[in-house]
């Protein structure tokens, strides 16, 4: 049942890093240990989530698409929007939508105003599948973070925010066109 690991790989083990510290002066053991631990915990949590979603025949990517569509029932999204919001390429989104459409969870429809675009909508079957999976999904997340008090969660989030801000201090590449950018709520 439990998948080996979805995709976030094992990462050099803590001991490995310590062993190397003797040979490479660049190593800051505290930094390395924090990094490894962060990636490992994230990987474990992600694996749990993937395992749960797999029971409902969703992958993380497909689930993300469904959640996005669920959120904007009135304001249909096109594949380009979805790709940007989900953080994948448009090519990947094509594949995700192919799969979801094959199972009739979503439908693609032409946009009259711009024939390059499509509109993607949840079908009734899709909405149903989402309703079935959603409660358990959020129960799982609550359980996964249950070891921390509210205060601790806040502290964790502060530290992660700080960490994220530093870590992201350079790439932030601009990919392609504006792609609507509507409905920012």
Q: Which of residues 24-83 bind a second copy (CB under 8 A)?
A: 24, 26-28, 30-35, 37-46, 48, 51, 60-61, 63-64, 67-68, 70-71
Residue 174 makes contact with a second copy by CB under 8 A: no
Task: Please name the residue ranges forming H helices in the chain.
Answer: 14-21, 29-55, 60-71, 79-86, 90-102, 124-144, 150-167
Residue 21 makes contact with DNA by CB under 7 A: no
Measured CA to CA, the distance from residue 164 to residue 182 in angstroms comes to 26
Q: Going by C-beta distance under 8 Å and a sequence separation of 6 or more, which residues neighbour residue 77? A: 68, 69, 85, 119, 120
Among a second copy, DNA, none, the one that 107 touches (CB under a kind-dependent 5 to 8 A) is: none
Report the residue number, 10 or 109, with the smaller CB distance to a second copy.
Answer: 10
Among DNA, a second copy, none, the one that 55 touches (CB under a kind-dependent 5 to 8 A) is: none
Site for a second copy in 83-112 (CB under 8 A): 85-89
Per-residue tokens: 161: 């925010």
Alpha-carbon distances of 178 from 55, 117, 168, 175, rounded to whole Å = 36, 14, 21, 9
Measured CA to CA, the distance from residue 58 to residue 79 in angstroms comes to 18
Measured CA to CA, the distance from residue 118 to residue 180 in angstroms comes to 13
- For DNA, how many residues bind (rule: CB under 7 A)? 37
Residue 98 makes contact with DNA by CB under 7 A: yes
Site for DNA in 156-185 (CB under 7 A): 176-180
11: left (phi over 0), alpha (psi -120 to 50) or beta: left
Provide, rounded to whole angstroms, the least separation between the CB of residue 121 and a second copy: 17
183: left (phi over 0), alpha (psi -120 to 50) or beta: left
Among a second copy, DNA, none, the one that 97 touches (CB under a kind-dependent 5 to 8 A) is: DNA
Among a second copy, DNA, none, the one that 93 touches (CB under a kind-dependent 5 to 8 A) is: DNA
Site for a second copy in 118-147 (CB under 8 A): 134-136, 138-139, 141-147
Residues engaged in binding DNA (CB under 7 A): 3-5, 7, 9, 59-62, 78-81, 87-99, 108, 114-118, 176-180
């Amino acid at each position: 049942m439990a998948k080996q690991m979805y995709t976030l790989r094992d990462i050099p083990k803590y001991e490995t890093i310590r062993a190397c510290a003797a040979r490479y002066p660049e190593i800051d053991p505290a930094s390395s240990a924090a990094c490894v631990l962060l990636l490992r915990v994230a990987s474990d949590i992600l694996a749990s989530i993937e395992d749960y979603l797999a029971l409902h025949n969703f992958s993380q990517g497909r689930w993300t698409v469904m959640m996005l569509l669920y959120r904007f029932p009135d304001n249909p999204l096109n594949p380009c929007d979805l790709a940007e919001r989900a953080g994948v390429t448009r090519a990947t989104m094509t594949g995700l939508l192919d799969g979801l459409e094959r199972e009739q969870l979503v439908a693609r429809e032409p946009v009259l105003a711009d024939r390059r675009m499509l509109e993607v909508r949840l079908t009734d079957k899709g909405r149903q599948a989402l309703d079935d999976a959603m409660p358990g999904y959020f129960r799982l997340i609550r359980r996964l973070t249950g070891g921390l008090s509210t205060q601790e969660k806040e502290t964790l989030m502060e530290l992660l925010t700080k960490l994220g801000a530093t870590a992201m201090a350079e790439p932030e590449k601009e990919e392609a066109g504006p792609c609507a950018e509507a409905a920012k709520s």
